[in-house]
Amino acid sequence: MERISELPLLLRRFPELTPHFPWTPLLPAVPTPVTFLQELGLWVKRDDLACPRYGGNKARKFEWILGELKAQGKRGFLTFGGLCSNHCTAAAIYGRAAGLDVTLCFVPTPIQENEYKELLLQAHLGARQVLLGPRTLPLLRMPLVPPAGSTVAGVLGYVNAGLELAEQVAQGSLPNPEMIYIAVATKGTALGLAMGLTLSGLEPRPKLIAVETVTPAWQRARVFLPTPQRALQRLRALSPEAQRCLPESVAALACESRLGFDREPLGIVSPPVLAALTQAQALGLSLDAHFSARAWAALQADRAQRQGKRVLFWHTHGQAPAESLAAAEESGVRLPLALERAAQQALRRTQCS
């Protein structure tokens, strides 16, 4: 049984939720750090450092997603994404850590060399890898974790993160931000964060700028957009304090969409995104071209609007440790033939673009 200090803030603050929201400890029981970038005058919430295994926003989500699957007695799950999917890598890493079998279904997308290595890492960890198509439809009978971990349980990872940030503000680790920039695809991360900040009572509540990063219909997964609303409803139904604090609709959470980079196809690196990657790297931040770098590019493009504001960039990118990638390569593991062909074609496309 976990000591109370090891439980997530959400369950400590609202203990009545504990029987309803299973959770499994996968991450170090410490907040992710916040750092101030003097050169740009802004703060960064370092969720990329959430865990040595693999950081990013998916790490927070899988503590709740896998906790729910284990509580249901499931022995494995299926999820899907692009060949460049951070979510699929996190699923392979954390699924194995939780003792569950993992099946990954892929839609071909342009990839870079490091993302090809992550495919090898997934295989090395024992994940089953297939290309999404008619032959894989029978696999959908398995427990399904949707793209980006957009389940009610996954949303809770960022409800907890909002409480965490408010606690760091209270402790003086950073001033209360006026604006928070965060990359989104299905919006589960941003809306969960908005719920957590609202539950925390932090005043004034920071304005959330949700940078839309994707355009393909399969990646947007708009069919899963009701998920944050369902999470909100469950919190309100199970906790009297949550019912008092939270609005009836996620629309009232005032999460502002920042458009522009959502029109760029997944895997395509535009000049502003390339500039964002270069600038962030010079500052010691490793971003990915598909999501977090687009949010950083939007942050830089909005320089005039945020002038004089206390701004926080929420770093959501996960990255496998170099030693893990090297171990996978050295193991001689091979991708399934169809996936290998698709990955090589996607890699050549990226190199030619």
The ranges assigned to domains in the chain are 4-54+151-315, 60-148+330-342
Query: 116-148 burial by CB neighbour count: b if 16+ within 10 A, else e?
Result: bbbbbbbbbbebbbbbbeeeeeeeeeeeebbbb
The overall average pLDDT reported for the chain is 91
* Interatomic CA distance for residues 99 and 121, integer angstroms: 17
Cβ proximity of 25 and 6 under 8 Å = yes
Cβ proximity of 266 and 214 under 8 Å = yes
> Would you say the CATH fold of 60-148+330-342 matches that of 4-54+151-315?
yes
HEC letters along 110-153: CCCHHHHHHHHHHHHCCCEEEECCHHHHHHHHCCEECHHHCCHH
Per-residue tokens: 42: 């802004």
C-alpha separations of 21 from 18, 87, 154, 157, 242 in Å: 6, 21, 11, 11, 14
Q: Which segments within the chain are labelled E, that is strand?
A: 34-37, 42-46, 76-82, 101-107, 128-131, 144-145, 179-184, 207-212, 255-258, 311-315
- What CATH number does domain 4-54+151-315 carry, 3.40.50.1100, 3.30.1110.20, 3.40.50.880, 3.40.50.720? 3.40.50.1100
Interior angle at CA 101, CA 97 and CA 234, nearest 5: 75
| Residue 29 vs residue 11, higher pLDDT | 11
41: left (phi over 0), alpha (psi -120 to 50) or beta: left
Per-residue pLDDT of 231-240, as tens digits, reads: 999 999 999 9
Per-residue tokens: 153: 């349980």
In 3D space, the residue among 196, 137, 183, 177 whose CA is nearest the CA of residue 13 turns out to be 196
In 3D space, the residue among 87, 80, 226 whose CA is nearest the CA of residue 143 turns out to be 80
Q: What does DSSP assign to residue 46?
A: E
Cβ proximity of 125 and 96 under 8 Å = yes
In 3D space, the residue among 90, 77, 81 whose CA is nearest the CA of residue 121 turns out to be 90
Percent of the chain whose predicted confidence (pLDDT) is above 90: 76
Give the mean model confidence (pLDDT) for residues 97-109: 94
Task: For the full predicted model, state whether its pTM sits above 0.85.
Answer: yes
Residue labelled with tokens 């996954």: 154
Cβ proximity of 120 and 325 under 8 Å = yes
Per-residue tokens: 2: 């976990």
Interior angle at CA 55, CA 53 and CA 58, nearest 5: 110
Side-chain-side CA neighbours of 314 within 13 Å: the count stands at: 25
Per-residue pLDDT of 126-179, as tens digits, reads: 999 999 887 777 777 789 998 888 899 999 999 999 999 999 999 999 999 999
What is the identity of the amino acid at 227?
A: T
Per-residue pLDDT of 216-261, as tens digits, reads: 554 445 555 689 999 999 999 999 999 999 999 999 997 899 988 8
* Interatomic CA distance for residues 180 and 299, integer angstroms: 9
CATH of domain 60-148+330-342: 3.40.50.1100
Per-residue pLDDT of 270-314, as tens digits, reads: 899 999 999 999 999 999 988 999 999 999 999 998 989 999 999
Give the mean model confidence (pLDDT) for residues 34-43: 96
306: left (phi over 0), alpha (psi -120 to 50) or beta: alpha
